[in-house]
């Protein structure tokens, strides 16, 4: 029974010492992609322009080829569907991003929310929850929102 519990804990929290730099980078890419996808999924209907904005944001943040980006978004959608919370993903971002990078991440997420020209109440709520978990100060959160809104022409 103790081995079963240990196996369960090991599957939930893999040892950090065994993580390679490549797997750490993959975890960061996936975490960022899931956060962007969660904003896209918050609206009642996912629009192609939102998906394009997710791809564009990931392309700007990470040096990945188009096929890698497409696969990353596929994985992020699958993870977002089965995940029960955001902590697993925001924790990776908090460990690897400084505050300026987290603010740019929040701005990219706002860009997804405004990509279709309309901010849905669910998108707004998801943004607030994720920004809070990323420890982004409220003023920076609002500034990122305004920059994304002005860039996207949203309401």
* Cβ–Cβ < 8 Å for 117, 155: yes
What is the overall mean pLDDT for the chain?
A: 87
| Per-residue pLDDT, 17 | 42
pLDDT in tens, 133-152: 999 999 999 999 999 999 87
Query: What is the per-residue pLDDT across 17-75, written as a single tens digit (0 to 9) for each?
Result: 445 667 788 899 999 999 999 999 998 888 899 999 999 999 988 888 888 999 999 99
Q: What is the mean pLDDT of residues 1-10?
A: 52
Residues 91-120, mean pLDDT to the nearest whole number: 95
Find the range with the poorest average confidence among 4-13, 45-54, 87-96. 4-13
The radius of gyration computed from the CA coordinates of the chain, to the nearest angstrom, equals 16
Determine which helix (DSSP H) or strand (DSSP E) holds 118, and give its type and residue range: none
Contact 27/115 with Cβ under 8 angstroms? no
Q: Which domains are assigned to the chain? A: 27-152 (1.10.3680.10)
Q: Report residue 141 CA to chain centroid gap.
A: 15
Would you state the pLDDT for residue 45?
86
Q: What is the pLDDT of residue 25?
A: 86
In this structure, are residues 50 and 112 in contact, taking their beta carbons and an 8 Å threshold?
yes
**pLDDT tens, 47-61?**
899 999 999 999 988
CB atoms within 10 A of CB 143: 15
Q: What is the pLDDT of residue 43?
A: 85
Terminal Cα-to-Cα distance of the chain (whole angstroms)? 56
pTM of the model: 0.82
Nearest to 36 by CA among 66, 56, 19: 56
């Amino acid at each position: 029974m103790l081995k079963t519990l240990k196996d369960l804990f090991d599957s939930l929290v893999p040892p950090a010492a065994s993580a390679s730099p490549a797997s750490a980078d993959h975890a960061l890419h996936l975490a960022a992609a899931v956060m962007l996808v969660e904003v896209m999924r918050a609206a009642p209907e996912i629009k192609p322009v939102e998906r394009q904005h997710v791809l564009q944001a990931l392309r700007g943040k990470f040096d990945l080829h188009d096929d890698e980006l497409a696969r990353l978004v596929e994985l992020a959608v699958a993870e977002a569907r089965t995940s029960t919370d955001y902590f697993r993903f925001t924790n990776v971002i908090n460990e690897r991003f400084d505050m300026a990078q987290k603010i740019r991440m929040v701005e990219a997420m706002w860009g997804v929310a405004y990509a279709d020209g309309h901010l849905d109440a669910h998108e707004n709520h998801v943004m607030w929850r994720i920004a809070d978990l990323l420890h982004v100060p409220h003023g920076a959160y609002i500034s990122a929102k305004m920059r994304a809104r002005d860039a996207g022409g949203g309401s």
